[in-house]
Amino acid sequence: MNRQHLFKWGLLFLFVMAGCQHPGDEEPPKLFAHRGASDQFNESTLTAYKIAADEGVDALEIDLRMTADGELVVMHDETIDRTTNGSGPVDAYTFDELAAYPTVGGGGRIEKIPMLRDLFDTFGETEHYYIETRLINGKAVMERPLIQLLNEYSLIEKKKIIIQSFSEKSLHEVNKLAPGVPLTRLFGRGKGTIMQASLPIYDHIGIESTDATPQRVMMLHYLGKDIHVFFNDPKTEKAEQKRVKKLGVEGYFTNDILYAKKLLH
């Protein structure tokens, strides 16, 4: 057998071993409430997270933004246009100014944008928090106040936190400030190389469901990474949740908690 053949068979062996041995295969995926119970109430609000907690999930998924006065608030978009009755970038407003723009969505009731602190005051140590950081103008500036806040509530030492980000720079900063906090590197659709995913500081890799192919799942498992899948398209989410179920991934960011529970448990 020449070298090329040996390499090919070696790779195949590793794929098969990875597929056979990964411990996550035996357990159903963990469920993370994507922006709270976002199918039932205005996303990223206290009420959406209360519904999610009542339905029972492994963690509350939370997107972070920072206001002009440095408050960490729970919001996905860079602007408040889509999810409130106002407009403009989140960081153009102080937290008090944001109160003038209540959230909108499927809830049919006025509710303001919450501070991250509001969630901790509401749920304390009864929930796990899966927090997404992002750069602000290319800089890792939300990480330090975030870690300070987590320490204030003792959430890191109580192992209640996972931090996720599409930004390698942000995750490095978190790792520097709080080594040992579990980290998830997110990759958008079609993005992310094996080299990028293999960084030892990442415990989990978050990929969009259409990227969850048997080959990719095997390779990431071979690297020793758990895989958490998010679902970008509401029209295909249920079908995708069913398809991905067969692949043995470790987590779903679900927009429909009860559906995912019925499917997986």
Q: Which residues bind ligand G3P (CB under 6 A)?
A: 34, 61, 63, 76, 132, 164, 186, 206, 230, 253
The one among 39, 43, 63, 256 contacting Ca ion by CB under 5 A: 63
> What residue number has its CB nearest to Ca ion?
132
230 binds, among ligand G3P, Ca ion, none (CB under 5 to 8 A by kind): ligand G3P
Tokens 């490095």 map to which residue? 172
Residue 84 DSSP class:
B
The number of residues in the chain equals 265
Least distance from C-beta 206 to ligand G3P, angstroms?
Answer: 5
Least distance from C-beta 186 to ligand G3P, angstroms?
Answer: 5
**Residue 189 vs 243, nearer CB to ligand G3P:** 189
In this structure, what is the dihedral angle of CA atoms 245, 246, 249, 252, given to the nearest 10 degrees? Answer: -10
**Residue 127 vs 132, nearer CB to Ca ion:** 132
**Residue 33 vs 115, nearer CB to ligand G3P:** 33
What value does the CA radius of gyration of the chain take, rounded to a whole number of Å? 19
In this structure, what is the dihedral angle of CA atoms 36, 171, 216, 265, given to the nearest 10 degrees? Answer: -30
DSSP assignment of 209-262 equals: GGG--HHHHHHHHHTT-EEEEE---TTTHHHHHHHHHTTT-SEEEES-HHHHHH
- Which of 52, 28, 14 minimizes the C-alpha distance to 255? 52
**Residue 86 vs 206, nearer CB to Ca ion:** 206
Phi, psi (deg, nearest 5) at residue 214: -55, -40
**Residue 192 vs 218, nearer CB to Ca ion:** 192
Least distance from C-beta 199 to ligand G3P, angstroms?
Answer: 18
Instruction: Give yes or no for residue 43 binding Ca ion (CB under 5 A).
Output: no
253 binds, among Ca ion, ligand G3P, none (CB under 5 to 8 A by kind): ligand G3P
Of residues 94-133, those binding Ca ion (CB under 5 A): 132
